[in-house]
Amino acid sequence: MSSVQQAVVPAPAAAAPRRTAKGWAYLRYGAGKVGGAVISLLAVLVTGFFLFRLIPGDPVKTMTGGRPVSAGQLAAYRREFGLDLPMWQQFTDYCGKALTGDLGTSYQFRAPVLDKIAEALPNTLLLTGTAFVLYTALGIVLGTRAAWRHDRLGDRLSTGLALTLYSVPSFWLGLLLIIVFSVGVGPIPGLFPTGGMESGGEEGFAYVLDVAHHLVLPVITLVAVEYGQTLLVTRSALLDEMASDYLTTARAKGLRDDLVRRRHAVPNALLPTVTLIFVNLGRTVAGVILVETVFSWPGLGGLFYQALSVPDLPLVQGLFFVFATAVIVMNTLADLVYPLLDPRVGR
Amino acid sequence: MTTTTPPGPRALAWRRRGHSAARFWKQYRTRRAGVLGLAVLVLFGLIALTAPLTVGSDVQSVTEAPGQPLESPSGQFPLGTDRFGRGLLGLLIWGARVSLLVGLLAAVLSVSIGAVIGITAGHFRGRYATVMMRVTDWFLVMPTLVLAIALATVMSRSLGTIILAIGVTTWPTTARLVRAQTLAVESRPYIERAKALGGGHWHIMSRHVLPNVMPLVLAQTTLVISSAILAEATLAFLGLGDPTVISWGGLLQDAREAGAVSSGDWWYLVPPGIAIAVVALAFTLCGRAVEAVLNPRLGVAR
Amino acid sequence: MSLLDVRNLEVTYADGSAAVRGVDVSLEAGGKLGIAGESGCGKSTLALALLRLLPAGTRVGGEILLDGEDVLAMKWGRVRAVRWAGASIVFQGAMHSLNAVHRVGDQIAEPILLHRKATAAGARTRAGELLEQVGLPAAHARAYPHELSGGQRQRVMIAMALACDPRLIIADEPTTALDVMIQAQILRLIAGLVTEQDLALVMISHDLSVLADTCDRLAVMYAGRIVEEGPARQVFDDSRHPYGKALSGAFPRIGDPASRFAPRGLPGDPPDPAAVPTGCAFHPRCPVALESCSVDDQRLREAGAGRRAACVHVPEAAASPSAVPEPEASPHPGPGAGTDGAGIPVPGPAPSSDATGALGKPASAPPPLLSAEGLHVSFPGRHGGDTARAVDGVDLDLRAGEIVALVGESGCGKTTLARSLLGLLPPTAGRVTFDGRPLDYSSGALRTYRKRVQLVLQDPSGSLNPRHTVYDAVAEGLRIHRYGGDERAAVAEALSRAGLRPAERFFQRYPHELSGGQRQRVVIAGALVLEPKLLVADEPVASLDASVRGEILALLLRLRDELDLSALVVTHDLGLAWNIADRVAVMYLGRIVETGSVEQVLSAPRHPYTQALLSVLPDAPGEPVVLAGEPPDPSRISAGCRFHARCPVLASGEAERAGVADACLTRDPEILGGGGEEQAACHYAATSSTSNPSELIR
Amino acid sequence: MSTQVHGRGLSGPTRSRRRMPATVAVGAALVLSAATATPLDPAPRQAAAADGAKVLTVAVAQSVDSLSPFLASRLLSTSVHRLMYEYLTNYDPKDSRAIPGLATKWESSPDKLTWAYTIRSNSKWSDGQQATAEDAAWTFNKMMTDEGAATANGSFVSNFEKVTAPSPTELVVRLKKPQATMTALDVPIVPKHVWEKVRDFSKFNNDKSFPVVGNGPFVLTGYKADSYVRLKANKSFWRGSPKFDELVFRYYKDQDAAVAALRKGEVSFVAGSPSLTPAQASALKNADDIKVNDAPGRRFYALATNPGARARNGQKFGDGDPSLLDERVRHALFMAVDRETIIDKVFQGHAVQGEGYIPPRFSPYFWKPSAGQELAYDPAKAAQLLDQAGYRTNSAGKRLGKDGKPISYRVLCHATDPNDKAVGQYLQEWWSKLGIGVTLDCLDNVSDPWLAGTYDLAFDGWSVNPDPDFVLSIHTCAALPATPKDVGATDNFICDKRYDELYARQLAEYDPVKRAAIVKQAESRLYDLGYMNVMAYPNAVEAYRTDQIKSIQTMPSAAGNIYGQDGYWSWWSAVPADSGGSSDSSSSTGVVIGGIVAAVVLVGAGVFFVMRRRAGADDRE
């Protein structure tokens, strides 16, 4: 089959790619991406401030829990929380302090927001991090396998399962796991704890095992709900690659089928997958909030939900900022990692 | 081909649409998963629409609740009763109306915003495009559920709030996909030919870009519906839904509040979850099948 | 025992289409076999079948003996051992055939590590040597495919093919996507390496003239069968099979008056492997088809010394060459005969201008219909690089009823010039005038201008919106300009004028239901419907099959005669200029370096660049002058004459003797006038206006 | 000519292909998770400290807001403080009379303005120092002077004029006006020598250095926010050391998780917030080793109507529906609520039908309306009353307000309380039969619209102390906010002259019998006003493991609640069950199951490896 004769051949590249030029171009590319990320962070800071000001309710009145408080005392509280200043001044104070790392004090817990976040962040990172690693690995491995033996039983089964679990509400799955594996139904005794992060009172290695024991069910819930997304993305990326000519070249060179897949097809298929994995992180943050609520996991998700009811403005803004920063950082990471995988970008 | 009076352009257009619809269905039928998904959707659609006839709106009344609170499944109540003694099967059927309605409206809202912004950002290069894409990226960066929760708390508890919260936070993914497709279409030579023929912006967008973007928009709508239904259930579960309205998410929240989990009343908790999962899965299967049929460029059948 | 012996090979794809229907071919060690054929004839399938690279579910019959061992019967382990060690392949689109994320050196080293006991370092040095062999610096091993030009990538493919010293190289369309000059370089490289290392070569191409030039034996394939085989030069010059004759006719020989204003092609399109016609597959398009041809199939039979052909006209016994009745020169009756929608046949020599004499300029020269005066178009370099001066000072005139060919390598700015003439690209300097009035870029004026000048694009399948029917595509122009009259009649008239009769049958068809040739006719009809004065065609036939190309060129000629429709044809193919153009302008690095009537410029070129272009054509007489280096970069134009870096005249010292050497280095020759008279922007040419081109640059 | 199906995916002899070691990785992950399950899973392993000490674990649904007694207002925090610091007085578990705490005896001057307490000499702080009257005086003075310290219990001392400690065992308090709560000063007495160093009371959370110095039955030894509060028994407590060695409050955000933990033995006691749901109670009733304590609660659950919010200075604010100002309308709404259905369907029997204002558990003050006075469930009579009040129904059956528009009331409900939502749905249907619309407005925090008076009706509920003074005071005109800007002590903006007189008389009356009679008259007046429709007295529904707790003191001891008592009786009196018998058996089965899972996975991986090796390299693609 004679191919479509494209008379256009790209303009000639530099004679030989010099080492420094590549490094320098990558720096410029990286700086551009990080610059974009910083702008996004500022935008998040600003929107976080105004968005939560819309929440009805006067935090001070909620704070005093309806106890008899004189107008004077109320005014004192407002001054203490800086709520009496005009809006724009509140805003400038807020930004000034935020940039220096001081996110204000939580009305509810009377402790600096940064401390409350610092307390809960490691727990969320532990849960999200473990789940992220597991479901990404699982998604890529199963996705590759499903694509390579396309439309056979294995492919249809794993894709079907991934799609089903992808459509299951994460909180509902969590509750089911608690019923079956924590409370225990009939013969199956409760294997796992029903909630919380630790039984308390453990030290050293026993503490680690105890936390791991508490970690099992939440991680299984998160992984079950999230790995489908990665699987589908990897699978479609690899399917696109399987039709391309360089694979025929590789086979013509005498490489075995799985070598062709591992050395040639997968690296190319990973490019779009890597970006989409990080972009879908926004959805994982949502999943974490739900799983933390169901499993009483002392993380940011639970804190956020609690803070919203007061509304504990500094804490809510701080958490909102942390959630958005996590997603922005991961997206920027994806942008920085991408050129390392794909030589055509950022050089 | 002897035709007495040549059919006018209007008749031609309709015959062509009929023809292409038949062609679409012939290809769609080959995808077993898509057909299965469609069958499930039709079933749930019927259930939802005929609910007032089959089950009647008084199923949700608490005062005339037929059974005792929290009865386990029996002949009279195939799925047992809820905390007021109302039959859960009836509530499940009645709940379908709200969940599907919210899912559809939220998806339509989200996809239409996404499509408009996607096409315009794709077509008009320069400042407008960069600004729109900055906004889209910023929205994409936002964790959708966090934003939805914030919006739901800000506004009063009602279905409208839920639909708005979901719609406003999920449009960026569609916008990004549509913009990529628009850029691909605009790079095709027939766009340059249209420009050479003197076609303006509106002509190019409406006559060339839109018809080629429609399959993606259609497929995306079905995929967004499934995530919208999940989002509605999530918000209702977090207690941000309208408590007086019967929806699957609401049922789950009631089950949880009644302590069904620890007391092992599985029949209160399991059916709504399964209903949500089945409908969301059905929509996803249909979406993927539509995408594969209308977008052969995606190559190998998914 | 021959190196490669294919016996009755049959290949049927999973979807039931019979790509190869019984092919017998053999090749001795060191032999060079060319396989020619149009799209869909099964030549690439044959190539892939040799190394069992066909997709899963393909049914393959017959035997492929490589060194006596049947590849189809081998165990997979053996097949993998044979691949690349026994025979290797050079694919066509090197951009897609190389892995974008691996360095080029690693990809070359990969087969070495696989088939030879070699350390990683050893493989790397071997890769360096191979790169040197194909004319690339060893340092390029560290480069990625996207950092190399088309020509350089093809050299890498060749280096890779030689990695394990195979005894047979299969080259599938190795130079199709390359420029004429680069193509010449690559073909010389392949020929050199093959003879030097005594390798066997199977070269596959749709370009008969290239194969005739490089291979010693030639086989022509049609619809999955070899219809003719024999010594390359004989098959090309004097084919025994009507298809062979028509195919070689489609490649015009510049200077041969027979093909001047007489593009030859075949009606209809190459058959679809899924629906192969009965009997002799060629009978629907065969000018000398007999009744029986549609019934009984033809097998290869002896047709002279070492030649075979599969046609009823080749008598079994007689070996004399002239036995095949000579199909008359212009086998088809005049225009107007209604054939079933496949397009009207080729008209006789164009009546209006005599084939030999140059087109004399009509006495009272009317103002040019469209002209560019001192036109400059430049683009800002990519992120901060220096600006690329795509069009760097061009004067060009186009008169009514005249066809001008704009010829040059890729990157010489011919497409940009065409776009700016159409008003799609505002020029950075100079102006475009139409009917004497300068072009006004306000949207209103631009719209009326658009009615008068129309564009025809290269990729027929890309220029039609897949979701619009033929009727919509053609009527689009009318709808944009709110045409008052009867839309149906206008569309029908345009379609039939473009050769698609009966027009109504095509109204409801979709682009993907038409063949390449038909789609291009729809595009042309879409342009005709607005009754333009001028047609700008950017590589109108580049992506069509050879036989279909003639049809479209003939259509352009006929439109020029019947509608006095002038045309500017942008092409890289000088043969096309010889076929249909009245005047030709050769462009190099954004400027016209030589212009004049086709007869003057193509028979007696005075600019060394034109001479070099003509010399590298496959069937050009004499030794080809292959210019070194890559097509020039418009963002780095040298001082003085822009061609001096690659000019053979300067290199051979001839310019020194003529005393113009320093002028070439310093003085930029002045911009040629837009008019019809013959000019060449070259100091050396100016000094010796009488010289004969051939001995000049030897 | 052999035709052979050629193709990469050809069904060769053994088509297993050398698989990426992926399935092995997945196998390994399974083994890891099973492994963590096995050794770790003496499943219902209590939080037994290393040396086999007896630990009482209590599942709570609230997190501690602050560990500083001057700041904490949540029930959990105040309960913990009740265990850490001794109060001056305590309540008798039988009849909640004031009995000696830190103070052994007390008497007041004839004009009731000077109170002298004798401080016991045998109560020592956990760091060995003697607890003296000086500590009490310093605590009270601190609360009177430092606004930050007055955040939590400032209301007790607002009426104090001077507090002195003439001797280590004697404390004298001078009052500005007579105050009946002098024998019920629920104020934690903190050690002066520790709290002197605190600079800013509004920021100090008392959660930095452990153990925290205290003289209560337990000493705070550990705290992790949103996870647990850990206390150790104070062996040298003057009233006798608690029987349990350790007391742990573990935080379960989700009540279901807490109940599940109880069933598995992870915790010994679950109270539920506000109490266990009917479903959980019935499920736990027939679970082994678990006792459900379903006792009359100390809370009343009422529907309050907006009487037209106004401040003490007479300024009106808020937008309550004018029709509610008419007593007949309030009575009609009162009579359209079927309290019996609420007890059956919403509380499913775990509550007592609502009558008067004070719950029946406080027998001396419990009042029931007489037959004539009672506003029993009678929708027909309610409709008549509305007609008499001039609110006729229009053609569509909707009752029209004075402004001619159909009446629709906004009902405030707590989004976190399932009962509010349930009763709200009943109201919607009952009152729609009367032609009155109801929009249920469930919010996470209802205090804003409530304090601003922008509501028509609201679900209301209070825990009543043994001394009913506080719950009565919140309906007096004095409790109204001074100006609309302030936040008054009022609960529902009720201000009625007759009611205020009765309240003032009972406050000054020291004779318990006479005081009870006056209180009942006040309750009757409140009932007639129709502002507070007390629908039910929810029971305290709690559950604990009998294999971990043999016996535990309820309050009132006859039948009462365990969690949230006015005193530390429950945790102090709890007797650990003799052996941790049952918990061991189930843990062994857990180990067995874990082992089997791990074994299966290992075998599977092994088989897979063997199978893969067999296929020769030759005939693989």
- How does pLDDT run across D457-485, given as a tens digit for each residue? 999 888 887 778 778 888 888 778 878 87
pLDDT-based confidence at residue C34 (cuts at 50, 70, 90):
very high
Number of domains in chain A: 1
Does residue A49 or residue D602 have the better pLDDT?
A49
Instruction: Quote the pLDDT of residue A220.
Output: 93
Buried b (16+ CB within 10 A) or exposed e, B50-82: ebeeebeeebbbbbebebebbbeeeeebebbbb
Spell out the domain ranges in chain B.
27-51+88-298
Average pLDDT, chain C: 81
pLDDT in tens, C114-158: 888 889 899 999 999 999 988 888 888 998 888 888 888 889 999
Q: Least CB-CB distance to A55: which of B154, B226, B281?
A: B154
Residues in chain B closer than 8 A to D346 (CB atoms)? 83-84
Nearest chain B alpha carbon to D431? B63
Q: How far apart are alpha carbons A208 and A199 in whole angstroms?
A: 11
Please state, in angstroms and as integers, the Cα–Cα distance from residue A169 to each residue in B249, B292, D325, following that order.
Answer: 10, 26, 48
Of A162, A118, A168, the C-alpha closest to A298 is: A118
Residue D270 and residue D546 in contact, taking contact as beta carbons nearer than 8 Å: no
- pLDDT higher than 90, residue C560: no
> Do residues C542 and C507 both lie within one domain?
no
Which of C215, C246, C267 is a domain's end point? C215
Instruction: Quote the pLDDT of residue A4.
Output: 35
Does residue D218 or residue C364 have the better pLDDT?
D218
Picking from B262, B265, B266, B267 by the largest number of D CB atoms within 10 A of its own CB, the best residue to mutate is: B262
- Answer yes or no: do D284 and B263 touch at CB < 8 A: yes
- Answer yes or no: do D444 and A309 touch at CB < 8 A: yes
pLDDT in tens, A292-343: 888 888 888 888 877 877 777 788 888 888 888 888 888 888 888 888 888 8
Instruction: Quote the pLDDT of residue C464.
Output: 87
Q: How far apart are alpha carbons C573 and C470 in whole angstroms?
A: 29
Interface of C with A in 196-225 (CB under 8 A): 206
Instruction: Quote the pLDDT of residue C127.
Output: 92
Element (H, E) at C594: strand C591-597
Element (H, E) at A346: none
Peptide bond connecting B211 to the previous residue in cis, omega within 30 degrees of 0: no
Rounded CA Rg of chain D: 31
- pLDDT higher than 90, residue C263: no
pLDDT-based confidence at residue D8 (cuts at 50, 70, 90):
very low
Instruction: Quote the pLDDT of residue A68.
Output: 64
Instruction: Quote the pLDDT of residue C125.
Output: 92
Point out the residues of chain B with pLDDT beneath 50. 1-3, 297-302
Q: Is residue C245 part of a domain?
A: no
- pLDDT higher than 70, residue D33: no
Q: How far apart are alpha carbons A136 and B4 in whole angstroms?
A: 64
Q: What is the pLDDT along chain A (347 residues), one digit of tens a residue?
A: 233 333 333 333 444 444 456 677 788 888 888 888 888 888 888 887 887 777 666 777 766 665 666 677 777 777 777 777 787 888 888 888 877 777 777 777 777 888 888 888 888 889 998 999 999 999 999 988 888 887 788 888 888 899 899 889 888 998 888 888 877 676 767 778 777 777 766 778 888 888 888 889 999 999 998 898 888 888 888 888 888 889 989 988 888 888 888 899 988 888 888 887 877 776 677 778 888 888 888 888 888 877 877 777 788 888 888 888 888 888 888 888 888 888 877 65
- Tell me the average pLDDT across C239-261: 82
For chain B, the farthest-separated pair of C-alpha atoms sits apart, in whole angstroms, at 76
The amino acid that residue C98 corresponds to is: L
Does A254 contact C at CB distance below 8 Å? yes
Nearest chain B alpha carbon to D433? B63
Q: How far is C79 from chain D (nearest CA, A)?
A: 9
Q: How far is B141 from chain A (nearest CA, A)?
A: 6
Q: How far apart are alpha carbons D272 and D260 in whole angstroms?
A: 12
Residues in chain D closer than 8 A to A108 (CB atoms)? 65
ipTM exceeds 0.90, yes or no: no
Q: Is residue C271 part of a domain?
A: no
Q: Which two tokens stand for residue D86?
A: 């001794």
Residues in chain D closer than 8 A to B244 (CB atoms)? 424-425, 428, 440
Task: Give A95-103's long-range contacts (Cβ < 8 A, gap of 24+).
Answer: A95/A45, A95/A46, A95/A49, A98/A45, A98/A321, A103/A314, A103/A317, A103/A318, A103/A321
Picking from D280, D285, D430 by the largest number of B CB atoms within 10 A of its own CB, the best residue to mutate is: D280
Q: Which residues does D contribute to its contact with C (CB < 8 Å)?
A: 1-10, 12, 617-621
Q: How far apart are alpha carbons D129 and D213 in whole angstroms?
A: 10
Residues in chain D closer than 8 A to A201 (CB atoms)? 47, 49, 222, 230, 248
Q: A97's torsion region: left (phi>0), alpha (psi -120 to 50) or beta? A: alpha
- Answer yes or no: do B141 and A236 touch at CB < 8 A: no
Residues in chain B closer than 8 A to D278 (CB atoms)? 69-70, 83, 258
Number of domains in chain C: 3
Average pLDDT, chain D: 79
Residues in chain A closer than 8 A to C45 (CB atoms)? 1
pLDDT in tens, D142-156: 888 887 787 777 777
- pLDDT higher than 70, residue D586: no
pLDDT in tens, A211-252: 888 889 999 999 998 898 888 888 888 888 888 889 989 988
Residue D160 and residue D175 in contact, taking contact as beta carbons nearer than 8 Å: yes
Nearest chain D alpha carbon to B265? D279
Q: Least CB-CB distance to D345: which of B69, B156, B243?
A: B69
pTM of the model: 0.78
Q: Is residue A185 part of a domain?
A: yes
Instruction: Quote the pLDDT of residue D377.
Output: 87
Those chains having 3 or more beta-carbon pairs within 8 angstroms of chain A are B, C, D
Q: How far apart are alpha carbons D583 and D55 in whole angstroms?
A: 14
Residues in chain B closer than 8 A to D283 (CB atoms)? 259, 262-265
Q: Which two tokens stand for residue D7?
A: 């193709």
Q: How far is D12 from chain C (nearest CA, A)?
A: 10
- Tell me the average pLDDT across C289-311: 82
Interface of D with A in 463-502 (CB under 8 A): 479, 482-483, 485-489
Q: Is residue A62 part of a domain?
A: no
> Do residues C481 and C611 both lie within one domain?
no
- Tell me the average pLDDT across C652-676: 80
Peptide bond connecting A311 to the previous residue in cis, omega within 30 degrees of 0: yes
Q: Least CB-CB distance to A43: which of B138, B143, B285?
A: B138
Instruction: Quote the pLDDT of residue A20.
Output: 58
Instruction: Quote the pLDDT of residue A15.
Output: 42
- Tell me the average pLDDT across D324-350: 87
- pLDDT higher than 80, residue C1: no
Q: How far apart are the first and last CA of chain B?
A: 39
Instruction: Quote the pLDDT of residue A221.
Output: 92
> Do residues C675 and C551 both lie within one domain?
yes
Instruction: Quote the pLDDT of residue C203.
Output: 92
Residue A63 and residue A77 in contact, taking contact as beta carbons nearer than 8 Å: yes
Q: How far apart are alpha carbons D286 and D264 in whole angstroms?
A: 14
Check which CATH number belongs to the domain holding C594 and give it: 3.40.50.300
Residue C36 and residue C206 in contact, taking contact as beta carbons nearer than 8 Å: yes
Instruction: Quote the pLDDT of residue D600.
Output: 67
Q: Least CB-CB distance to C76: which of D1, D5, D621?
A: D621
> Do residues C537 and C521 both lie within one domain?
no
pLDDT in tens, C164-220: 889 899 998 888 878 888 888 888 888 888 888 888 999 998 888 888 888 999 999
> Do residues C556 and C408 both lie within one domain?
yes
Please state, in angstroms and as integers, the Cα–Cα distance from residue A69 to each residue in A19, D58, D479, following that order.
Answer: 71, 33, 11
- pLDDT higher than 90, residue C412: no
Does C454 contact B at CB distance below 8 Å? yes
Q: Which residue has the tokens 């086989």?
A: C219
Residues in chain A closer than 8 A to C572 (CB atoms)? 7
**How many contacts does A have with B, using Cβ atoms within 8 A?**
131
- pLDDT higher than 80, residue C335: no
- Tell me the average pLDDT across C586-592: 88
Range of the domain at A147: 25-56+103-341
pLDDT in tens, D277-288: 888 888 888 888
> Do residues C199 and C85 both lie within one domain?
yes
pLDDT-based confidence at residue D39 (cuts at 50, 70, 90):
very low
- Answer yes or no: do B141 and A54 touch at CB < 8 A: no
Range of the domain at C619: 350-435+533-698
pLDDT-based confidence at residue C350 (cuts at 50, 70, 90):
very low
| DSSP letter, residue A30 | H
Q: Least CB-CB distance to B198: which of C450, C463, C471?
A: C450
Check which CATH number belongs to the domain holding A293 and give it: 1.10.3720.10
Q: Is residue A127 part of a domain?
A: yes
Instruction: Quote the pLDDT of residue C397.
Output: 87
> Do residues C552 and C667 both lie within one domain?
yes
Q: Is residue C272 part of a domain?
A: no
pLDDT in tens, D88-127: 888 888 877 788 888 888 888 888 888 898 988 888 888 8
Range scoring the smallest mean pLDDT among A257-271, B217-231, D438-452, D524-538: D438-452
Average pLDDT, chain A: 79
- Answer yes or no: do D33 and A216 touch at CB < 8 A: yes
Q: Least CB-CB distance to C57: which of D4, D7, D618?
A: D7
- Answer yes or no: do D418 and B85 touch at CB < 8 A: no
Place domain B27-51+88-298 in its CATH homologous superfamily. Answer: MetI-like (1.10.3720.10)
Instruction: Quote the pLDDT of residue D579.
Output: 55
